[in-house]
Chain A
Amino acid sequence: MFIPHTDSEREEMLKEIGVGSMAELFNAVPKDFRFPKLNLPPALTEMEIMAELSELASVNESTRELICFLGAGAYNHYIPAAVDAIIRRGEFLTAYTPYQPEVSQGTLQAIFEYQSLIALLTGMEVSNASHYDGATAAAEAAVLAYHQFRGKRTRIVLSPAVNPQYRAVLRTYMSGYERLEIVGDEAGSSPFTSVDDLAKLVDMNTSLALVQYPDFFGRIQDLTAFAQKVHEAGALLAVAINPTALAMLKTPGDFGADIVVGEGQPLGIPLSYGGPYLGLFAAKKELVRKMAGRLVGETQDEKGQRGYVLTLTAREQHIRREKATSNICTNQGLMALTSAVYLSLLGKHGLRKVAELCFHKAHYAAEKIGKLPGFEVQTSTPFFHEFVVKTPAPVADINLHLLDHGILGGYDLGKDYPGLDNHMLIAVTEMNTREDIDILCEVLEEFNHG
């Protein structure tokens, strides 16, 4: 198995060390606590654990069997076979953080290319090497903004149309900062507030305004005027994005955003029940020294050959300790690689195609569902691949019915927005065929009649 020692080797080694037994190596451990009996199931062979976990996995109903219309922050996209073939390579999978550049150029160049791809996709100047997920990246934007104004600006304006989990994590992260107020998404505020209304909350005490684009409800709003108002107040604008949507939409960079955060999962990362995913974080170059996380930069060796190193490490915890910009250490290296491979494979044409497929299919679905008696689609604003449907019954009941017909229904917005009981968020991707959508409509209609 994974411990290679033979009995005779073990004896030789103990002799070299000068102890009589393995147990003697642990004399420094207080006797009362030494060698506890652990109550764990007996060890399994590879064959047995594979069988056991195959069975456990088959208890689940996955998006392989169900027709999936669930999104709300994690999306069911096609992942080309080459992506997994690359990231399973042991040379990538079993390497550590590239602290020794001479023997880590593979990881370093891949991250450098990731930074480039993300910067260009988002229309920003720099990207870091990743955060844990979209939610923690959004929280780090708030931390950055707080420090940008040395804690003197104590207001964060947060759109209620930002993913509720991002907002929850941001609140957890910022709970340690005294006197901070987070406004815009208080209970009772309208979930569908426009960015124009949100702009009224931005004042000279605001460090950061965070909006989502497309927002949690799938809506696409022009952020030009909003960005202007945020900047007039001297605050920073952060935009949480969906990377697939940016293949066809104007970028946050076009609007003048200072920071872009987002969930990178749509870029070739399996749903995997919520993780590991990928936190995207890009910014204007002037913020680079305030950014958390790792950065790879290009340089040369003594012979003038091009090479890559971790750079600006003086911001990081292993150098700065309590004065670091963040405590982040291990991040999402392999997931950053995954998205770099995905973006390289799909390229200019493929990603645009996926975005358009999502867009057209979602609009077909919205139009069809909108015609069903009892269902009302809220489509007053342009949307990307998600939209809100007002339903004639509680979403949980409808979803139960859909599940009986092999359909994973949309997200129940009432879980996060008290005013949105009987509102479902439906996501459509390139994985959904016209037939899937037609079946969804039939089953919804049947529910209403049943």
Chain B
Amino acid sequence: MAEPTVYELSSSGRIGVRFPEPDVPLATLPAGLERESLPLPELSELDVVRHFTHLSQLNYSIDGGFYPLGSCTMKYNPKINEDTARLPGFAFTHPLQPAETVQGNLALMYELQEYLKEISGFAAVSLQPAAGAHGEFTGVMIIKAYHEAMGRTNRTKMLIPDSAHGTNPATSAMRGFEVVGVPSDSRGNVDLEALKALCDDAVAGLMLTNPNTLGLFEEHVVEVLDLIHGCGGLVYGDGANLNALLGIARPGDIGFDVMHFNLHKTFSTPHGGGGPGSGPVGVATHLVDFLPGPNAVIVEEGTDEEAPLFDLAMPAQSIGRVKSFHGHFGMLVRAFTYISMYGADGMRKIAEHAVLNANYLLAKLRHAYHVPHDRICMHEFVMEGVFEDAPGVHALDIAKRLMDYKFHPPTNYFPLIVHEALMIEPTETENKQTLDAFADALIKIAAEAHTQPELLHGAPHITPIGRLDEVKAAKDLVLCCWYPDQN
């Protein structure tokens, strides 16, 4: 039974929240500018609580079960993060308060910048960007600003491997770069020969995800970076897969010039059904002045008795402001809490166990599914959701059938370079029993694909709703549940 919408539940005259009566004389509402009717629903508090509770129960979530979405790093989001972000001193400060009244916020931002620098090996970090793609946008702008400052106006090409996330080419195109694809080789690395042929003085940079979206560490990463730097380009690191590198290797040490972090992947801030994210950007020494801002700085060093004095400042040649205020502060508190609870040794343990879990699943599944680039993987791996001897079964069917086994499906049909891809990222927070149960389910589904394919085609069978008609959604385009002219 479908849950009604808030408009269907509405009953004229019902009140959800009361507010005090005015304690001041009433002013006159502006003549001719007053609204005639306000088409919002009318519900009681219980109506609202029950409605959204019902809706929540239609969701699959990490709190409810295993969520192995490749490239999304669906790790457990510790509950303490929600409490620290809601401490009144953080949650109720206004973004434009004078610096002397928000020294706690600025200290936290400054420390987080320092932590992220240490973890990544970069010289400076801005916490401004709102999400991964926003961080990419910022990073690509920095690359452009750097070339312009150097007087290199001919740098028009951005090289992007064919395994990259869609945000990479979309971001580059937004900034006016010509997107040039780079093929992968048979081991899933960037094809070095092809890359060599593309390197010339029109190259602004390369956007590289490492480990890449096949879950593989780029075996020639040093050579790739040398080639790009050799032709005067900069290397952008897509930090989407940083979970595999915590305490394992620092992108800044390897020679990346700029990278975004996804606090909502690597540092456990909740995904929230599609945001808010947080996408800080780290840069090497030569790019420090181009960062967006304002960022937290120390204006007066501390002493043994006194804390340092913090403020916000714009970098010297800043690309400018990329969003209002100072980034997603609430997400910064959560990430700070998380990093503090792990410390240096803990960082390495996160990556080690994320990689252990992925390789364990790979070992259990490689006999039942074809894995095109089969070597030790990092935090995720990609296999094909298709069988030569079971034509008609697709990755989508396997994904949907997993729901009947109470698992969230892996990312499917991405990366584009693997046919019928199923991309599995277990993360470090899952225990062995869960991984065993998930592998068993996938092995059973592989058998079903051969013996009872109709079970897969009709899946999911146990969810409140079946496969939805996406063509109808795009054709009819119903984007709003109630129009004023219908009442």
Once the chains bind, are A27 and B166 in contact (CB under 8 Å)? no
Q: List 18 A-B contacts (CB under 8 A).
A: A39-B344, A45-B341, A49-B340, A93-B270, A100-B399, A105-B55, A120-B482, A120-B484, A175-B141, A249-B34, A273-B330, A274-B329, A275-B95, A312-B477, A318-B165, A329-B167, A348-B39, A434-B23
A296 to B478, CA, bound (A): 8
Once the chains bind, are B16 and A344 in contact (CB under 8 Å)? yes
Q: Does B203 contact A (CB under 8 A)?
A: no
Interface centre among B93, B121, B322, by most chain A C-beta atoms within 10 angstroms, is B93
**In the complex where A102-B466, A273-B326, A297-B474 touch, is A49 in contact with B337 (Cβ < 8 A)?**
yes
User: Which residues of A are found within 8 Å of B249, using beta-carbon distances?
Assistant: 29-30, 33-36
**In the complex where A327-B133, A349-B42, A360-B22 touch, is A33 in contact with B347 (Cβ < 8 A)?**
no
User: Which residues of B are found within 8 Å of A360, using beta-carbon distances?
Assistant: 22, 24-27
Once the chains bind, are A30 and B481 in contact (CB under 8 Å)? no
Chain B 359-370, CB-CB to A under 8 Å as 1, else 0, gives: 110111000000
Known A96-B72, A329-B132, A411-B96; 6 more pairs at CB < 8 Å:
A60-B105, A73-B96, A93-B61, A248-B29, A303-B466, A348-B38
Contact pick for B277, options A42, A305, A330, A363, CB 8 Å? A330
Q: Which of A84-92, A192-200, A229-237, A369-377 contacts B (4 or more CB under 8 A)?
A: A84-92
Contact pick for B7, options A59, A116, A329, CB 8 Å? A116
A247 to B39, CA, bound (A): 9
Chain B, Cβ-Cβ closest to A399:
B98
Chain A, Cβ-Cβ closest to B279:
A330
User: Which residues of B are found within 8 Å of A340, using beta-carbon distances?
Assistant: 6
Once the chains bind, are B275 and A333 in contact (CB under 8 Å)? yes
Once the chains bind, are A33 and B272 in contact (CB under 8 Å)? no
A133 to B343, CA, bound (A): 32
User: Which residues of A are found within 8 Å of B325, using beta-carbon distances?
Assistant: 73-74, 133, 165, 273-275
Once the chains bind, are A133 and B35 in contact (CB under 8 Å)? no
Contact pick for A305, options B2, B39, B48, CB 8 Å? B2
Q: Does B185 contact A (CB under 8 A)?
A: no
Contact pick for A96, options B69, B349, B480, CB 8 Å? B69
Chain A 175-207, CB-CB to B under 8 Å as 1, else 0, gives: 111100000000000000000000000000000
Once the chains bind, are A168 and B320 in contact (CB under 8 Å)? yes
Once the chains bind, are B275 and A135 in contact (CB under 8 Å)? no
A253 to B55, CA, bound (A): 30
Q: Does A276 contact B (CB under 8 A)?
A: yes
Q: Does A332 contact B (CB under 8 A)?
A: yes
**In the complex where A17-B363, A60-B102, A274-B327 touch, is A5 in contact with B356 (Cβ < 8 A)?**
yes
Question: A100 to chain B: closest CB distance in Å?
Answer: 6
User: Which residues of A are found within 8 Å of B261, using beta-carbon distances?
Assistant: none
Q: Does B450 contact A (CB under 8 A)?
A: no
Q: Does B173 contact A (CB under 8 A)?
A: yes
**In the complex where A60-B89, A348-B40 touch, is A301 in contact with B347 (Cβ < 8 A)?**
no
Chain B, Cβ-Cβ closest to A78:
B19
Q: Which of A107-115, A153-161, A439-447 contacts B (4 or more CB under 8 A)?
A: A107-115
Chain B 303-339, CB-CB to A under 8 Å as 1, else 0, gives: 0000100000000000111111111111101001101
Interface residues in A130-159 by Cβ distance below 8 A to B read 130, 132-136, 143
Contact pick for A275, options B92, B327, B476, CB 8 Å? B327
Once the chains bind, are B115 and A40 in contact (CB under 8 Å)? yes
Chain B 77-105, CB-CB to A under 8 Å as 1, else 0, gives: 11010111111111111111110011111
Chain A, Cβ-Cβ closest to B264:
A330
Contact pick for B96, options A72, A93, A332, A356, CB 8 Å? A72
Number of B residues with CB within 8 Å of any CB on chain A: 200
Q: Which of B194-202, B228-236, B386-394, B425-433 contacts A (4 or more CB under 8 A)?
A: B425-433
Question: For the complex, would chain B's binding face be called helix, strand, loop or mixed by DSSP majority?
Answer: loop
A288 to B140, CA, bound (A): 27
Once the chains bind, are B17 and A350 in contact (CB under 8 Å)? yes
Once the chains bind, are B363 and A18 in contact (CB under 8 Å)? yes
Once the chains bind, are A165 and B321 in contact (CB under 8 Å)? yes
Q: Does B123 contact A (CB under 8 A)?
A: no
**In the complex where A168-B320, A329-B132 touch, is A116 in contact with B52 (Cβ < 8 A)?**
no
A345 to B17, CA, bound (A): 6
Once the chains bind, are B466 and A93 in contact (CB under 8 Å)? no
Once the chains bind, are B40 and A102 in contact (CB under 8 Å)? no
**In the complex where A3-B428, A43-B341, A327-B167 touch, is A95 in contact with B61 (Cβ < 8 A)?**
yes
Q: Does B144 contact A (CB under 8 A)?
A: yes
Q: Does A331 contact B (CB under 8 A)?
A: yes
Once the chains bind, are A82 and B2 in contact (CB under 8 Å)? no
A42 to B6, CA, bound (A): 49
A16 to B88, CA, bound (A): 48
Q: Does B468 contact A (CB under 8 A)?
A: yes
Once the chains bind, are B324 and A44 in contact (CB under 8 Å)? no
Once the chains bind, are B107 and A56 in contact (CB under 8 Å)? yes
Interface residues in A246-264 by Cβ distance below 8 A to B read 246-251, 254, 263
A63 to B94, CA, bound (A): 7
Once the chains bind, are B271 and A94 in contact (CB under 8 Å)? yes
Contact pick for B480, options A3, A4, A84, A125, CB 8 Å? A125
A316 to B170, CA, bound (A): 9
Q: Does B43 contact A (CB under 8 A)?
A: yes
Once the chains bind, are A430 and B19 in contact (CB under 8 Å)? yes
Once the chains bind, are A437 and B24 in contact (CB under 8 Å)? yes
Once the chains bind, are B119 and A38 in contact (CB under 8 Å)? yes
Chain A, Cβ-Cβ closest to B131:
A330
Contact pick for B467, options A74, A95, A102, A165, CB 8 Å? A102
User: Which residues of A are found within 8 Å of B440, using beta-carbon distances?
Assistant: none
Chain B 121-134, CB-CB to A under 8 Å as 1, else 0, gives: 10000000011111
User: Which residues of A are found within 8 Å of B49, using beta-carbon distances?
Assistant: 82, 85-86
**In the complex where A50-B84, A82-B49, A403-B101 touch, is A135 in contact with B324 (Cβ < 8 A)?**
yes
Question: A158 to chain B: closest CB distance in Å?
Answer: 15
User: Which residues of A are found within 8 Å of B121, using beta-carbon distances?
Assistant: 36
A73 to B167, CA, bound (A): 29
Once the chains bind, are B56 and A433 in contact (CB under 8 Å)? no
A127 to B88, CA, bound (A): 32
Question: A310 to chain B: closest CB distance in Å?
Answer: 8
A430 to B449, CA, bound (A): 61
Once the chains bind, are A90 and B62 in contact (CB under 8 Å)? yes
Q: Does A448 contact B (CB under 8 A)?
A: no
Once the chains bind, are B409 and A100 in contact (CB under 8 Å)? yes
**In the complex where A86-B53, A299-B472 touch, is A275 in contact with B326 (Cβ < 8 A)?**
yes
User: Which residues of B are found within 8 Å of A227, using beta-carbon distances?
Assistant: none
Interface residues in A272-292 by Cβ distance below 8 A to B read 272-277, 288
User: Which residues of B are found within 8 Å of A351, using beta-carbon distances?
Assistant: 38, 40
A220 to B248, CA, bound (A): 56
Once the chains bind, are A96 and B94 in contact (CB under 8 Å)? no
Interface centre among A270, A274, A311, by most chain B C-beta atoms within 10 angstroms, is A274
A195 to B376, CA, bound (A): 64
Question: A404 to chain B: closest CB distance in Å?
Answer: 12
User: Which residues of A are found within 8 Å of B34, using beta-carbon distances?
Assistant: 248-250
Contact pick for A95, options B271, B399, B466, CB 8 Å? B271
**In the complex where A176-B175, A272-B330, A437-B24 touch, is A133 in contact with B221 (Cβ < 8 A)?**
no
User: Which residues of A are found within 8 Å of B355, using beta-carbon distances?
Assistant: 22, 25-26
A52 to B333, CA, bound (A): 12
Once the chains bind, are A135 and B323 in contact (CB under 8 Å)? yes
User: Which residues of A are found within 8 Å of B331, using beta-carbon distances?
Assistant: 275-276
Chain A 396-411, CB-CB to B under 8 Å as 1, else 0, gives: 0001100100001001
Interface centre among B83, B275, B474, by most chain A C-beta atoms within 10 angstroms, is B275
Chain A, Cβ-Cβ closest to B464:
A105
Question: A35 to chain B: closest CB distance in Å?
Answer: 7
8 nearest interchain CB pairs? A274-B325, A57-B89, A90-B63, A334-B272, A274-B95, A43-B343, A333-B274, A276-B276
A178 to B84, CA, bound (A): 45
Q: Does B397 contact A (CB under 8 A)?
A: no
Contact pick for A330, options B40, B102, B133, B431, CB 8 Å? B133
A354 to B40, CA, bound (A): 14
User: Which residues of B are found within 8 Å of A433, using beta-carbon distances?
Assistant: 23
